[in-house]
Amino acid sequence: MPISQSQGKLVGVEPIKDVVMMEDHNEAYFTWQRMGKRDKILLHIDAHIDFAWIDIKDPYQILEEAKSVNEVKRMLEMSILWEQFGKKRESLVNIGNYLYPALRDGIVREVYWVIPGDSKQKITKRENKMIKNIIKRLMKKNPKGSEPVEIKDNCITTRIYGKKFTACRLPDLPRIQEEVLLDIDTDFFVLESILSNNDLIKERRPWFFPEELVEYLKRKEIRTNLVTIAYSVEGGFTPLRYKYLGDELKEILKNTQLEGDFRKITHHRKQADIHRLEGRIDDAIYEYENLLKLKPDDASGCYNLSSLYLEKGLIDKASLFYKKAIKIDPTYRTAYNNLGRLYERNGKLGQAKNEYNKILKLDPEDANAHCGLGSIFSKNKMWDKAIVEYERAIKLSGDDFSAHYGIGYVYIRQGKWDEAKKEFKKCVELDSLNSVAHYWLGFIYSKIEDETLAIQEYNRAIQTGWSDRLAVVVRLLTLTLHNGTFYNVIEAFKRVINLLPKILIFQLRQTLYFTLHLRKG
């Protein structure tokens, strides 16, 4: 029986009033919560599953499940501290796990994960295997136990947290006979497969466009009253030059009869990108100049034009349009406005340094670029220069976690324990759930022979996410052997034993990987 008009607007036919934009995708959960959504089917269109377990239990749940006093203690240790529970729970929701609380809280009762890929092809064997492995990893922590995975009509189905879960491509999405929550990540348009997640961001380009997606959803007769769209630029998922895809999608969903200038603007963008990719920089500049005649306040157009002028060495023009872009939309001043982090992550420190310096030519007050340079100097053991850049970042942006962390690390390498402690205490003050900051505080306390505080900080590192790091559990075991009760020693020893198989498997994989690549070389 067809659904009624009151059950949602028909995507691509009727304008949708509530289209909520966000950078971090976990804001979708808080949007659904704020708008009182309950018992909905979620249509999650994304290159990532965004589902991971939040290992936290209500103290009352722990008391109900534990079978002994020792087990109560162990479960509390592996969860967030009891007295912190109430105020910390929501802060544990992040871009990789927000679907879990949506299921847990009854906002969502069923999930369709639409993965990117050529609509003419079936899900490949490698993609099938990857999805099955993702589900298998989730099931290991699933309190309701494992569920069978079935493949039918090019869809992979199972149950997660007791709720039906389906992974498929757009052509295989069935018609859903009720209003859905429509949740879209912009990285869907630039990652043409879930296997592409580790590709270099420099190589990412649109394989699919917003109007094509809306047309598919229209043919599937998808209805909704609420759309959440994540840019996902931070972290390097969507290249900043393609952030406009999210804005374009919003315009199409809210205004289904877009013509005239909108069509001309999208045409100029596509042509400019084709010219840029084929090395015709002057032609790309021409297209963006025409775009900005139609829409002078287009931040994406200004940013991309700035990048093209920079490529030609026209620094003054590049700086002018870059400053226009960040004035129109301050989020374009981001750590991901250049390839510095990408090169740094891949060990290409010289190229990373050049990228950070390019941005500083355009915008000398970019704190992220100063922080990036600090990291390069630190990796090259140029400690004094590193601290200068980190301090510039703090001066420009206020208390910057990354800059305080960087300075603290430099002081650790120099053996300046009191100075390092001050910086990492500031890091914990800025982000109390950062496991790495707690780890280094534990390390510092162990160096200044405050074993009680060292054990406390190592435990906090484990409680906030580093339960699978051998370094922290070995250090905790060492301190506990010297300072702990018999029970604590046994628990610390168990952690090490449990981790050894994982570490050995990881080392074996690394060895095999490098052996194969050396043979290919």
pLDDT over 70 percentage in the chain: 77
Higher pLDDT, 50 or 246: 246
Higher pLDDT, 414 or 489: 414
* Residue whose entry in the numeric block shows the structure tokens 């909108």: 262
333's CB contacts (< 8 A; 6+ apart) are 326, 363, 366, 368
Mean of the pLDDT values across residues 284-292?
Answer: 97
Cα–Cα distance between 452 and 442 in angstroms, integer?
9
- Return the pLDDT at 305: 96
Mean of the pLDDT values across residues 494-519?
Answer: 47
Task: Render pLDDT for 94-120 as a digit per residue (tens, 0 to 9).
Answer: 888 899 889 988 999 999 999 998 766
- When pLDDT is cut at 50, 70 and 90, the band that residue 508 belongs to is very low
Cα–Cα distance between 199 and 246 in angstroms, integer?
21
Cα–Cα distance between 72 and 468 in angstroms, integer?
21
- When pLDDT is cut at 50, 70 and 90, the band that residue 521 belongs to is very low
Task: Render pLDDT for 360-387 as a digit per residue (tens, 0 to 9).
Answer: 999 999 999 999 999 999 999 999 999 9
Minimum mean pLDDT range among 114-128, 184-198, 262-276: 114-128
Six token digits for residue 148:
């069978």
Mean of the pLDDT values across residues 33-55?
Answer: 89
Minimum mean pLDDT range among 104-113, 248-257, 397-406, 464-473: 464-473
**CB atoms closer than 10 angstroms to residue 502:** 11
CA proximity to 217, closest of 188, 247, 187, 260:
188
Say if CB 301 and CB 261 are below 8 A apart: no
Helix (H, G, I), strand (E, B) or coil at 112: strand
C-alpha 13, offset from chain centre: 32
Q: What is the mean pLDDT of the chain?
A: 82
- Return the pLDDT at 486: 43
Six token digits for residue 165:
């879960």
Cα–Cα distance between 385 and 108 in angstroms, integer?
51
Cα–Cα distance between 374 and 382 in angstroms, integer?
9
pLDDT at 300 over 90: yes
* Residue whose entry in the numeric block shows the structure tokens 């028909």: 10
CA proximity to 494, closest of 70, 137, 59, 140:
70
Cα–Cα distance between 306 and 252 in angstroms, integer?
26
* Residue whose entry in the numeric block shows the structure tokens 């592996």: 78
Q: Helical H runs in 329-366?
A: 340-345, 349-362
**CB atoms closer than 10 angstroms to residue 283:** 14
pLDDT at 481 over 50: yes
pLDDT at 497 over 70: no
DSSP run (H or E) holding 22: strand 18-22
Mean of the pLDDT values across residues 255-262?
Answer: 82
Q: What is the 3-state secondary structure (H, E, C) of 213-279?
A: HHHHHHHCCCEEEEEEEECCCCCCCCCHHHCHHHHHHHHHHHCCCCCCHHHHHHHHHHHHHHHHHCC
Minimum mean pLDDT range among 144-158, 370-384, 440-454: 144-158
54's CB contacts (< 8 A; 6+ apart) are 92, 93, 97, 100, 101
Task: Render pLDDT for 185-198 as a digit per residue (tens, 0 to 9).
Answer: 999 999 888 877 65
- Return the pLDDT at 25: 95
- When pLDDT is cut at 50, 70 and 90, the band that residue 135 belongs to is confident
- Return the pLDDT at 126: 81
- Return the pLDDT at 5: 44
Helix, strand, coil percentages (3-state) for the chain, rounded to 5, are: 60, 10, 30
